[in-house]
Amino acid sequence: MKINKPRLKFYILIFLIVAIVITSLILHVCGYHIPLVKYLDNLKSSPHLPIIYVLLYFVSSFFPLPFLTFLGATIFSFHEAFVLSLIGNMFSFIIMFYLIRWLGREYIEFHEDKNSKLKALDFKLSKNAFLYVFLLRLFFIIPPESINLLAGLSKMKFRDYFIASLLGTIPVIIFSITFIKSYQLRNFNLFIISVAIFALCILIPLIFIKGLKRYFKKM
């Protein structure tokens, strides 16, 4: 019996997605963050803490650990938390992009040849990949895993995905760290700055989407 490799890999991808969702729910119910915070707190004096923290982002690619940037902000200085969180996030994004592309892209390509609407959607997404990924990263209410999935299954270039993810993630990281530091330091000015960044991250994508709707209505 001949094995359909693209289909098999796609089924593995579906299984992986379901497993990640279930694991995320279980970890949330069990309150994973409490022992994790205690574990990292005990390692504060360890020179290996930054490496362990970045590796947690690798783990989060398969076993979701939300709010890692918030957690890092409670442990490290502003600059350390920013650099480590950025490295960790991008590390995770790269891994998931290539894994999803390897598992699912071939299967999607096969069905695009039979479905013109799917092919047109993929073309539109890839043509404006940088803009879409940037806005989706900025609008951090959307789970990053869904953006990784969308990018990996499409034919968008890795360069567009990487640069857009990098630029879109930076403001979100700054907001997260500033918000936590404002609480730690009891600094109202930092809190105002974090709220302003939060508002921009939410409003810019919404305004742009609204503008797109008006544009298409005029066409």
Give the mean model confidence (pLDDT) for residues 94-121.
Answer: 90
Asked if the model's pLDDT at residue 65 lies above 80, the reply is: no
Residues 124-141 pLDDT 10s: 888 889 999 999 999 988
pLDDT at residue number 42? 74
DSSP string, 91-153: HHHHHHHHHHIIIIIHHHHHHHTT-HHHHHHHHHHHHTHHHHHHHHHHSTTS-HHHHHHHHHH
Mean pLDDT of the chain: 87
Give the mean model confidence (pLDDT) for residues 17-34.
Answer: 75
The position carrying tokens 């508002």 is 199
Structure letter (DSSP) for residue 32: T
Could you count the other beta carbons within 10 Å of the beta carbon of residue 50?
Answer: 17
pLDDT at residue number 136? 93
Asked if the model's pLDDT at residue 110 lies above 90, the reply is: no
Give the mean model confidence (pLDDT) for residues 182-205.
Answer: 94
Give the mean model confidence (pLDDT) for residues 108-129.
Answer: 86
Asked if the model's pLDDT at residue 26 lies above 50, the reply is: yes
Residues 143-164 pLDDT 10s: 888 899 999 999 999 999 999 9
pTM: 0.87
pLDDT at residue number 215? 44
pLDDT at residue number 216? 46
CB of 151 closer than 8 Å to CB of 133: yes
Identify the band that residue 212 occupies on the pLDDT scale cut at 50, 70 and 90: low
Asked if the model's pLDDT at residue 24 lies above 80, the reply is: no
pLDDT at residue number 99? 95
Give the mean model confidence (pLDDT) for residues 43-67.
Answer: 84
**φ, ψ at 156 (rounded to 5°):** -60, 150
* Residue type (1 letter), 4: N
Asked if the model's pLDDT at residue 112 lies above 90, the reply is: no
